[in-house]
Chains A and B, each alone.
Chain A
Amino acid sequence: MSDSTGKSDGKLLDVKDLKIYYPIHAGVFLKKVGDVKAVDGVSFTVKEGETLGLVGESGCGKTTVGKGIMRLVDVTSGTIDFTTKAGETIDVVPLDRGSMRPIRAEVQMIYQDPFSSLNPRWSVGDIIAEPLGVHMPELSGKERDDKVAWLLEKVGLRGEQAGRYPHEFSGGQRQRVGIARALATAPRLVLADEPVSALDVSIQAQVVNLMQDLQEEFGLTYLFIAHDLSVVEHISHRIAVMYLGNLVEIGPAREVYSNPIHPYTRALISAVPLPEPSMGRPDRQRLVGEVPSPLNKPSGCPFRTRCPLAVESCAGDLPPLIEVAPDRQVACPVVAGDSASGA
């Protein structure tokens, strides 16, 4: 546990060299023969009150990062420093379940699937009250009910709906219930794991707005994990792009979107369709091939097998994140040099 170093310049979350591996067992005696490197040395910080968007395609490890921070999966190595309300900076990686519990009140998660994230056998009131029961056992039944009603109102539902069950709600409403549950313990950091991707287009906007309103009202910090770049760009202050377990680019949302540097980011952004028929996409960069399996990740830069700019040296070491502009890092030595000089 890293000792408390006081307020670390507004950093709420500081993830350093996070690695999450899943062992592969094989052979007659099931010896460990290797690892699936789901997250392979990811470092980033989240400042208090901001929204960091974490994007990438499926299987890139973005959800695993979120679950690692929540300690829902075992972290192989690295540090996750979280600054608590009291101002202490605590590394949550070595914590056991007991000492993790108080931190859980301050870090909550919103899940992707509004159907599976609510227990179908529980009323939404009970669902929202459960974290309250863990972290504020001192509340009386009445107080708890009031709090649940208040939370329901906050997320745009009605307090008297607490007695209803999830199946009586539509997808968007369920996602609101999920948000209310996440807010029950007054967290400071909310990890939103694809919170809108299962929702209808007309409902997505409602939920995104709600999340922004709540951020303003409660001063929340979001780690917004998603694959939909346009939504991420809209809600985030900064964006981090992941590919195959590594961060490839991180920077302010607008800049990353309008001026992507890493070849993967470029391809990703140019692949996003736009609701603008007149435009056409002559500039579209086409990526060849498929994402390699994390079981046999390419050496060096993981993107080199599909990269249009790949050079021989890419196969060497994993390229580190290079600062190309203030608050802007890219893990590609090939392009970083140009941009840094250009910037």
Chain B
Amino acid sequence: MHGMISYFIRRLLLIPITFVCITFMVYGIMRLSPGGPIEQARTQMLMAQMQEGGGGAFSQIGELALPQDAIDQLKIYYKLHRSIPVGYMIWLGVWPDDDRGGIFSGIIQGDFGISYRYSDSVLSTIVSKFPISVTFGLIGYLATWIVCIPLGVQKALLHRTWFDMTTSLAVFLGYSIPGFVACLALMLMFGTSLVWDLFPLGGFRSENWNDMWAAGNIWWCIKDQAWHMFIPLVGYVMSGFATMTILMKNSLLDNLGADYVRTAFAKGLSERRVIFLHALRNSMIPICVGIGGAIGLLFAGSFLIEKTCNIPGMGLLGFNSLIERDYPVLMGILVFGVLIRLTGNILSDLILAFIDPRVRFK
């Protein structure tokens, strides 16, 4: 037991190290990159000038000069006037920020900075997107379990029968269509008049949802929500569906041939009991361990599905902040992504240690 605790402490200690490595790398890439925020400001200013003064400034597009003091101001605004390590450490919160009176303010103080675009704190921007992504992730994951576990079990018990063969074809077809493509195809089929105009073309809720909620029309709200969620949820389920079903099937097949199953039968236990109590419990181990990995999907959402179905969750936020070069948000999302994955890994180990008495981490 003692060994396990130190194992997990060691794992936890690795989080900050990992975290620093990754964020520093990304920070460096962003700082060194051409086309940063200054460049964008320059382009924006250029556009403004063009609209005002016609083609006047056209000739000097290359060397369009912003006044030096404007550049400096921008640099300070974007915190680009410092060297990369110092800037990074300010961002991290371990170096006094002179521009703000030499206070320590950064990630470890819980200050992720201000979004360029939303002019709101990054943390609250990100946190405000959590519920949407978590709703989808959680319901999607649950749905995956509800579909995959019984299906996998049934496939294992009917291995190489007609049922197994046909469901395999379906499962593998599901595997070969990425979730977002499935969403797209479903939107085409059931969101347009092509086959059956049944579901909306994206969006999280109808526009008047909040009004209806305020009006107390809860039943309508639930229906509207479900109506909007159907297609993206199919996409979410699709992405883990095949893997989990096959994992479940193979794992159960392995265990059904195990010696202890024979022992259980030799004790005269009923088939149901042997399969569902003895074999299934063992074959659930690899599946439960996957929960840790799924945490990432739960919180980080999916760029692809959120973009396709236009759901304003974490994924879409990340995508938009990338397009708009909203670096504080970008970094914030990356930080969350890394933290969640690292926690997910540890969670997997914890789950494994909890459900498999044999496992001893050292």
Contact = CB atoms under 8 A, between A and B. Distances in A.
Nearest to B9: A28
B98 to A, nearest CB: 37
Interface in A14-58: 25-30
Contacts of A28: 6, 9-10, 13
A29 B10 contact: yes
A29 B6 CA distance: 8
A26 B10 contact: no
B362 A26 contact: yes
Interface in B37-62: none
Contacts of B9: 28
Q: How large is the interface on B (under 10, 10 to 19, 20 to 34, 35 or more residues)?
A: under 10
B6 to A, nearest CB: 4
B362 to A, nearest CB: 7
Per CB-CB distance, the 9 closest pairs between chain A and chain B, nearest first, are A28-B6, A28-B9, A27-B6, A28-B10, A26-B3, A26-B6, A26-B362, A28-B13, A25-B362
B267 interface: no
Which of A26, A28, A30 has most chain B Cβ within 10 Å? A28
Given A28-B9, A28-B10, 10 more contacts: A25-B362, A26-B2, A26-B3, A26-B6, A26-B362, A27-B6, A28-B6, A28-B13, A29-B10, A30-B10
B268 to A, nearest CB: 30
A30 B13 CA distance: 13
Nearest to B8: A28
Interface of B: 2-3, 6, 9-10, 13, 362
Nearest to B7: A28
Contacts of A26: 2-3, 6, 362
Nearest to B2: A26
7 contacts: A26-B2, A26-B6, A26-B362, A27-B6, A28-B9, A28-B13, A30-B10
B236 to A, nearest CB: 38
Contacts of A30: 10
Contacts of B2: 26
A30 B7 CA distance: 9
Interface residues of A, number: 6
Q: B interface, by DSSP: helix, strand, loop or mixed?
A: helix
Nearest to A30: B10
A319 B3 CA distance: 33
Interface of A: 25-30
A27 B362 CA distance: 8
A134 B87 CA distance: 59
Contacts of B6: 26-28
A223 B6 CA distance: 43
Contacts of A27: 6
Contacts of B10: 28-30
Nearest to A33: B3
B63 to A, nearest CB: 57
B17 to A, nearest CB: 13
Nearest to A25: B362
Contacts of A25: 362
B288 to A, nearest CB: 26
A221 to B, nearest CB: 41
Nearest to A26: B3
A331 to B, nearest CB: 33
A116 to B, nearest CB: 20
B231 to A, nearest CB: 48
A29 B3 CA distance: 11
Contacts of B13: 28
A24 to B, nearest CB: 9
B320 to A, nearest CB: 42
A34 to B, nearest CB: 13
A189 to B, nearest CB: 37
A27 B10 CA distance: 9
Nearest to A24: B362
B257 to A, nearest CB: 20
Contacts of A29: 10
A231 B318 CA distance: 72
A28 B9 CA distance: 6
B102 to A, nearest CB: 36
A26 B7 CA distance: 9
A28 B7 CA distance: 6
Which of A26, A27, A30 has most chain B Cβ within 10 Å? A27
Nearest to A31: B6
Nearest to B3: A26
A26 B362 CA distance: 7
Nearest to B12: A28
A27 B5 CA distance: 8
B250 to A, nearest CB: 24
A41 B13 CA distance: 40
Contacts of B362: 25-26
A30 B2 CA distance: 12
A25 B10 CA distance: 13
Nearest to B6: A28
Nearest to B11: A28
Contacts of B3: 26
A312 B13 CA distance: 47
A293 B362 CA distance: 18
A318 B9 CA distance: 38
B333 to A, nearest CB: 31
A79 B220 CA distance: 85
Nearest to B10: A28
B12 to A, nearest CB: 10
A29 B9 CA distance: 9
A28 B3 CA distance: 8
A30 B10 CA distance: 9
A26 B3 CA distance: 6
A269 B2 CA distance: 40
A23 to B, nearest CB: 12
A235 to B, nearest CB: 34
A54 B71 CA distance: 84
Which of B6, B9, B13 has most chain A Cβ within 10 Å? B6
A26 B360 CA distance: 12
A28 B13 CA distance: 9
A27 B3 CA distance: 6
B4 to A, nearest CB: 11
A160 B3 CA distance: 56
A198 B284 CA distance: 35
